[in-house]
Amino acid sequence: MRAHKFDVIVVGAGGSGLMAALYATKNAQGSVAVISKLYPTRSHTGAAQGGVGAALGNVDEDSWEWHMFDTIKGGDYLTDQDAAEIFAKDVIDAVYELEHMGLPFSRLPDGKIAQRRFGGHTREFGKAPVHRACYAADRTGHMILQTLYQNSIKEGVNFFNEFLVLDMILEEDADGGQVCKGVIAMDIASGELHTFHAKSVVLATGGNGRMFKVTSNAHALTGDLTAIAYRRGIPLEDMEFYQFHPTGLYKLGVLLTEGVRGEGGILRNGAGERFMERYAPTIKDLAPRDIVSRSMYMEIREGRGAGPNKDYILLDITHLDPKIIEERLPDIADFSRTYLRVEPTTEPVPVNPTAHYTMGGIPTTIDGEVLWGTQNNEIVHGLYAAGEVACVSLHGANRLGTNSLGDLIVFGRRAGVAAAKYANENALLPITDDVARRAEDLISRTRNASGKESVAKIRAEMQQSMQDNASVFRTEETLSAQVEILRGLNERYTQIGISDRSERFNTEMIEAIELGFLLDNAETLVHSALNRRESRGAHSREDFTERNDPDYLKHTMIYRKEIGHTEIKWRDVVLGKYEPKPRVY
């Protein structure tokens, strides 16, 4: 086994990981390394299209307070208001910083950063839509990823690409608390285990959308570190809140940015009706994503869908100038032509909601410190998290479009600074000889698995059943059924068999390990959703249709007791000047 020592280790090379690495490098007195399952520029941040929300005011009058309010209201008041305030203020400077790093934003005629409208973003506390999303055509995430990676190379960040993290080095400290001393990872190319010993660790590994059948998420998004944290006794927060993006390509789930509607695109049912006027009469197609996704499903369920089976909705941009489509939405036009053979300038594009983003994750303070309890002083020393893997909680019960990219750069930066400060103030702690035992056992057990169950079949059944029972609409009956389905799939998972016993590039073994991570993530979502008997944001219970603030204005904290058995605790929402009100648009 190879051993490495660094002051700060960042796991994940997407937007939040690279931002954390950049700022750790600028602030740490020692070395910084990034460990990534992919080559950095293939990270999923590159799939984000529409923009970064920031109140620059380049097109309309705007204010960080309006952005803060929209974020809290969009999160159905489950958003922690201290996080929302920090975010709305800091994201303005963060956007300008990206510009100065070299990010090629689209421009207005006067040379300022171009901004477009996005769902849920308004002026004057909800009076009218506002142009707030700073964009680079429909490739904003791709440009952020390229810019941050280039700057990381420039700053001398060390990279370990195509390494699969299998465990964290978590040990008890002298006071009975938890301290993180690094991670254990496998070099995919050789199959060799590596120990990464560090003073502090930042987790930035993204989402877990591959637990659903129809998703915008890449194949690599299997919730690895949320599952590892969960297995090691760290709670996961608000895992029931999973966002379905309204406009994924029909049956495929390939994302079509909300920026399409920001540029004037309209959702129509099978009769050609602009139906969002019924559900959100003020901002119509630019309502938050949870509302639009539910509205689309209602149209389909009530027989007003499009197509021969009436099972999709139409995204219409035929009224837009083709020049605007080609200049501002080139990838969207290309996706429609390539995957569905639809010409978007002359015919509407078939779309359906697609599993897109988890609002939940590893609980953190506003500085990225990972919590092992329900209070802010119950932290895992030396462990930080940022981006989609984390729950700060900026997004509450529903994330507004563009706030994910803002989250990456704002809280990735804060986590990097905090991790560097911790590393500067603390010594490298010794680790025990058997720190890799869990990882070694996992690899040995998986590589030598000789049962009769198929990884592919279990994964397909998990994805289909999660799509059927725990997606946009949920009930006690469907969630209880899904608990039993997952229990059975976990039992079958212990009987899997794989045929590849090799060490080098053993992708069959990796997919088997990732399936275990996905099953853990699905377990946390379903148990958390079953426990929350209300409808709030992206969590829509058809048997409890109203929001219930007296009982559920609080964060879910789910702990694993054993496979299939969990414990739920609660954490208070950080409130502020914006009191919870009915959420209407």
Domains in the chain: ranges and CATH: 250-345 (3.90.700.10), 437-537 (1.20.58.100)
Kindly report the number of other CB atoms within 10 A of residue 4's CB atom: 17
Please tell me the distance from the alpha carbon of residue 88 to that of residue 84, in angstroms, as a whole number: 6
Per-residue pLDDT, averaged over 494-512, amounts to 96
The pLDDT, as a whole number, for residue 565 is 87
Per-residue pLDDT, averaged over 546-562, amounts to 96
Per-residue pLDDT, averaged over 468-490, amounts to 97
Q: Is-contact 361 205, C-beta < 8 A?
A: no
* Structure tokens belonging to residue 180: 């993180």
The pLDDT tens digits of the residues spanning 50-92 come to 999 999 999 999 999 999 999 999 999 999 999 999 999 999 9
The pLDDT tens digits of the residues spanning 111-142 come to 999 999 999 999 999 999 999 999 999 999 99
Q: How confident is the model at residue 173 (pLDDT cuts 50, 70, 90)?
A: confident
CA of residue 279 relative to chain centroid, distance: 26
DSSP 8-state symbol, 480: H
The pLDDT, as a whole number, for residue 177 is 84
Residue 564: pLDDT over 80: no
> What's the whole-model pTM score?
0.96
Please tell me the distance from the alpha carbon of residue 553 to that of residue 30, in angstroms, as a whole number: 42
* Structure tokens belonging to residue 437: 């035992």
Please tell me the distance from the alpha carbon of residue 18 to that of residue 437, in angstroms, as a whole number: 29
Sheet of strand 349-358, all strands in order from the earlier edge strand to the far edge: 242-249, 349-358, 313-316, 266-268
* Structure tokens belonging to residue 418: 């905090």
Residue 176: pLDDT over 80: no
Instruction: State the chain's mean pLDDT as an integer.
Output: 96
Per-residue pLDDT, averaged over 30-51, amounts to 95
Q: How confident is the model at residue 174 (pLDDT cuts 50, 70, 90)?
A: confident
- Exposure on the CB side of residue 486, measured as CA atoms within 13 A: 30
Q: How confident is the model at residue 357 (pLDDT cuts 50, 70, 90)?
A: very high
The pLDDT, as a whole number, for residue 158 is 98
Task: Find the catalytic residue in 289, 447, 474, 532.
Answer: 289
Q: Is 289 assigned a catalytic role? A: yes
Residue 535: pLDDT over 90: yes
* Structure tokens belonging to residue 238: 């608000």
Sign of the torsion angle spanned by Cα atoms 173, 178, 181, 183:
positive
Of the chain, the percentage scoring pLDDT greater than 70 comes to 100
Task: Select from 442, 419, 436 the least CA-distant residue to 183.
Answer: 436
Lowest model confidence (mean pLDDT) among 46-50, 147-151, 295-299, 397-401: 46-50
The pLDDT, as a whole number, for residue 563 is 78
Please tell me the distance from the alpha carbon of residue 428 to that of residue 6, in angstroms, as a whole number: 9
The pLDDT tens digits of the residues spanning 260-279 come to 999 999 999 999 999 999 99
The pLDDT, as a whole number, for residue 188 is 98
Per-residue pLDDT, averaged over 38-60, amounts to 95
Full 3-state SS string of 316-379: ECCCCCHHHHHHHCHHHHHHHHHHHCCCCCCCCEEEEEEEEEECCEEEECCCCEEECCCCCCCE
Tokens 């068999």 label which residue? Answer: 497
Report the relative pairing of strands 128-134 and 193-203 from DSSP bridges: unpaired
